[in-house]
């Protein structure tokens, strides 16, 4: 099975994060709309441009130049000092939001993450998830990201660097020639400034030139790096997403349906499939949920969301599903056509923090827990459509249609 990889890259992170922080703390001016830069101390060597707004870029101001030089280009330039504490805060907010989608996240830098979505798509497409993350970050966190969509880390990284800001780009194997090979060789990941002139002397000016060059000659001239450059130019990368086992603060999943549905029973069946996947992640993390949220989006893009507190912290698929179905029925009105349905469980606590009540330790609870664990093992091995609970056959048919165009 091909990997399903996303690369999320914050647009102009340092300036954007400072702008959002200021707006959220009462300031009325969005510094992203000014001719502004993030810079160091102008009296020291650190007085250089670290980040710039779009309007500053229009004046020809570039990252890395001195603030003195930047001021010559625009007398009204607004200079703001960097604040690592703020950057760390918003980087963590982004990371926690992404944990709602997958447990496998590699923090590549303070403003970049790789996501391995291979086991977390629930028959939705990777592109749909990328668009959802792009929109959710903007709505909930207040800044924008580019999202690269591919089957390996290299191509996802390259895709996220295409036109900016606030974009979602794909770069699958069949798109390498048309989207990547025409780019200047300097655009290829891991090609340093000192290497570019050497490649130019070999008449290698584009990524396509490098991809079609004799690999053995490259190895002879550059050693192992020559082999790596050639592989990258051809979109070859087998590296895995290196993730840390961090406990998520919430877990969720949603699916854009292949057709608008106005049948509550079919919606309940799709909700069950989503609940199985979400509670499986909950149990793998040894966590219990306190709050559940169900989301609906109509064919007219109207959004509805209801949440409720569970009677007690639980990881039981049955208990969480019952509450989710209640919320669904509470929101749904006859005649509504639904295009997206989602579920999120929140206020998570460690199982070790919760002393299970003697009243919960019944024979039925033990049987339910055993059933959940058995289904987790089977679904992880064969996929979430291999075995289903009663009443999910129709939803599997619905969800399977979504997958036919999945990359």
Joined together, the tokens standing for residue 229 give 């450059």
Q: What is the mean pLDDT of residues 36-58?
A: 84
3-state secondary structure of 163: coil
Would you tell me which CATH number, out of the four given (3.40.50.150, 3.40.930.10, 1.10.3720.10, 1.10.150.20), belongs to the domain 181-233?
1.10.150.20
Mean pLDDT for the chain overall: 87
Token representation of residue 219: 């190895």
Q: Judge contact between 350 and 287, C-beta under 8 A.
A: yes
Beta carbons within 10 angstroms of residue 172's beta carbon: 18
Cα separation, 160 vs 156, in Å, equals 6
pLDDT at 294 over 90: yes
Return the CATH class of domain 15-84: alpha beta
**Residue 32 DSSP code:** G
CATH class, range 251-403: alpha beta
Specify the pTM. 0.73
Q: How confident is the model at residue 365 (pLDDT cuts 50, 70, 90)?
A: low
What are 50-75's pLDDT values in tens digits?
A: 899 999 999 999 988 999 899 999 99
Domain boundaries, the chain: 15-84, 181-233, 251-403
Residue with tokens 């106005």: 262
Active site positions, annotated: 112
With beta carbons less than 8 A apart as the criterion, state whether 390 and 375 touch.
no
Query: Phi-psi category of 61—alpha, beta or left, where left has phi over 0 and alpha has psi -120 to 50?
Result: beta
Strands 105-109 and 145-150: unpaired
- Say which DSSP state 300 is in: T
């Amino acid at each position: 099975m091909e990997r399903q990889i996303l690369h999320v890259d914050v647009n102009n992170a340092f300036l954007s994060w400072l702008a959002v922080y200021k707006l959220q703390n009462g300031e009325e001016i969005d510094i992203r709309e000014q001719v502004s830069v993030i810079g160091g101390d102008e009296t020291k060597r650190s007085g250089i441009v670290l980040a710039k707004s779009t309007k500053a870029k229009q004046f020809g101001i570039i990252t890395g130049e001195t603030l003195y030089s930047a001021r010559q280009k625009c007398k009204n330039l607004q200079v703001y000092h960097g604040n690592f504490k703020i950057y760390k805060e918003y980087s963590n907010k982004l990371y926690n939001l992404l944990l709602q989608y997958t447990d496998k996240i590699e923090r590549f830098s303070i403003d970049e993450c790789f996501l391995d979505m291979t086991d977390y798509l629930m028959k939705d497409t990777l592109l749909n998830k990328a668009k959802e993350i792009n929109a959710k970050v903007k709505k909930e966190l207040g800044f924008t990201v580019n999202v690269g969509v591919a089957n390996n880390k290299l191509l996802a990284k390259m895709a996220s660097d295409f036109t900016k800001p606030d974009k979602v780009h794909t770069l699958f194997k069949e798109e390498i020639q048309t989207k990547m090979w025409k780019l200047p060789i300097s655009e290829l990941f891991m090609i340093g400034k000192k290497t570019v002139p050497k490649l130019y002397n070999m008449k290698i000016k584009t990524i396509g030139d490098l991809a079609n060059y004799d690999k053995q000659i490259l190895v002879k001239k550059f050693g192992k790096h020559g082999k790596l450059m050639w592989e990258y130019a051809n979109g070859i990368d087998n590296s895995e997403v290196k993730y840390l086992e961090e406990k998520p603060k919430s877990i969720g999943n949603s699916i854009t349906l292949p057709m608008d549905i106005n049948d509550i029973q079919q919606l309940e069946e799709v909700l069950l499939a989503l609940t199985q996947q979400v509670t499986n992640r909950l149990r793998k993390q040894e966590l219990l949920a306190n709050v559940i949220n169900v989301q609906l989006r109509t064919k007219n893009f109207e959004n509805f969301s209801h949440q409720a507190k569970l009677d007690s912290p639980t990881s039981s698929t049955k208990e969480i599903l019952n509450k989710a179905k209640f919320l669904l029925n509470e929101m749904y009105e006859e005649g509504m056509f639904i295009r997206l349905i989602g579920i999120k469980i929140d206020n998570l606590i460690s199982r070790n923090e919760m002393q299970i009540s003697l009243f919960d330790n019944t024979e039925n609870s033990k049987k339910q827990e055993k059933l959940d664990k058995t289904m987790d093992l089977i679904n992880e091995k064969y996929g979430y459509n291999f075995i289903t609970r009663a009443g999910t056959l129709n939803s599997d048919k619905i969800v399977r249609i979504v997958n036919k165009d999945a990359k």
